Structure 1
């Protein structure tokens, strides 16, 4: 896949514009890192990839290769083309934020995916009205037999990646999740990387 390799630093976010048909490859460089991922319609940021709408569209709680990611207007905005990992991702959990860390007992400011999304959009001169539920790439949140959930480390390996094709002109926002209280990132947040190609 051609294109320059970009870094999303640990605990930080990044936004990139994709034209319809372009492909982004998001790489779990260490294997242990979760990447919260959003797609926003470039022409209208009030339309965005929606996990609740996607689950209904694909009849699954985790998208697989070939599945569409649809918006809150039930239109495909991306297609998951390739996934070299075991395919364990999360579509149930909201982006971490100030309130999440307060609930976990953190008393000082803590980096969060919600703030990373806002800052990444702000860096390219944009602002979203809300923080949608992200596609949490590589996040391992199994639903147990009693309908409880567990917060577990990733099952991906170093260098695993997903490729998403833009089905609309869109902005992809990625956050190298800074969560270090529960073990989803093995309590050690790391960078992720990405390419964009036509």
Structure 2
């Protein structure tokens, strides 16, 4: 089956019918992939489709009693319904559900005026959904940040932004439990360590 590129610094979205599995590949091993999922008013998606529910990290953490999903765990929407199941993970299981998608304001915080106009995951979500004719939510949902390494330290409050622990070619597989649209952003972050300072392409494959 063919691979689809998640272009470095850009967003992409695809329909994922119930029962399908999508393999998200960290091709170089260093790229964070922000991930969202949505159910729609109609499927397959069309310009008339509207978003009905969205994958929710807040609800997922409560359902799992965990900050990071592991194989066999579900990813839940804002109605506490299971949208996806993590069915395979060849990494060490280090992903993130705590950090919001980067946006222009984040780059202004990090780099001042040099950050204005920086590509960002919030805009990449809009970009990816627009190709399917879907209007993005007014407020960017918190993404499942695949391959992102955000350790919480011994004081139980402090966290840090670290380089991914994943290796070249490692991947996760997510099975759709309902008809949905899944969206990805190859995170453009090039100031902090999270993409090792160099955003690159990632890939996905629908199995």
Q: TM-score, normalised by structure 2?
A: 0.92
C-alpha offsets along residues 95-146 of structure 1, whole Å, 9 cap, x if unaligned?
A: 0001111111242310000000011101110012221000000100000112
Instruction: Give the SS at the match of 2:154.
Output: coil
Residue aligning to 2:53: 47
| Residue of structure 2 aligned with 1:93, choices 93, 99, 106 | 99
Partner of residue 152 from structure 1, selected from 162, 165, 169 = 162
Runs of at least 5 residues in structure 2 that lack an aligned partner in the other structure: 42-49
* Matches for 1:46-65 after TM superposition, within 5 Å: 46-65=52-71
Query: CA RMSD of the aligned region, Å?
Result: 0.9
Q: Deviations over 1:34-77 (max 9, x none)?
A: 00000101335141110010000011000000000000010000
Is the 1:90–1:136 Cα contact (8 Å) retained in structure 2? yes
Say which of 6, 9, 12 aligns to 1:8: 6
Distance 1:5 1:42 in 2: 25
Matched residue, 1:143: 152
Residues 65-76 of structure 1 aligned to structure 2 (within 5 Å): 65-76=71-82
Residue 135 of structure 2: aligned partner:
127
Distance in 1 between the 2:117 and 2:84 partners? 33
User: Residue 125 of structure 2 corresponds to which residue in structure 1?
Assistant: 117
Distance, in Å, in 2 between the alignment partners of 1:46 and 1:20 is 16
Q: Which residue of 1 aligns with 2:34?
A: 36
Number of equivalent positions = 195
Give the conservation status (yes or no) of the 8 Å contact 2:32–2:145: yes
